[in-house]
Amino acid sequence: MGSQPIGTFSMKEIATTQHIPVNYLAKIMRKLVTRGIVRSMVGPDGGYILRKSPREINLREVYEAIEGELRIIDCMEKDKICFLYETCPQLPVWDRVRVSMIKILEDTTIDDMLKQNRKRVI
């Protein structure tokens, strides 16, 4: 699915090409299906297929489907606010890092990753 996004790929094919244990991949794929990034198809020709063009799927969508909201450090989490939250001199720095990472993930699509992979192979 990564190097050839067109078509249907079995769990075993994806696990083999991406070097991911099948059990772990099953959890990831379930999350991607739930978020509407991939579609699961059952049957002898079943497997997984992207729901949209690789140009329309950015890495933030993929990351947040798998990991949830991007957080750099625990104290930035809404339910784990540190008692120094209001006066912490580090917080603005970590927030800028987070915002920069989000921008990079939003600006990078699956298609961009595929193009980079093709350049390495050539």
Residue-by-residue pLDDT tens, the chain, 122 positions: 545 556 899 999 999 999 999 999 999 999 999 999 999 998 888 899 999 999 999 999 999 999 998 888 777 666 666 777 778 888 889 889 999 999 999 999 999 998 987 666 55
Q: What are phi and psi of 58, to 5 degrees?
A: -95, 165
Q: From the CB of residue 50, how many other CB atoms can be counted at a distance below 10 Å?
A: 19
Partners of residue 50 on adjacent β-strands? 38
C-alpha neighbours within 13 Å on the C-beta side of residue 63: 15
Q: How confident is the model at residue 78, as a pLDDT?
A: 60
Joined together, the tokens standing for residue 19 give 């070097």
Domains in the chain, CATH or no CATH each: 11-121 (1.10.10.10)
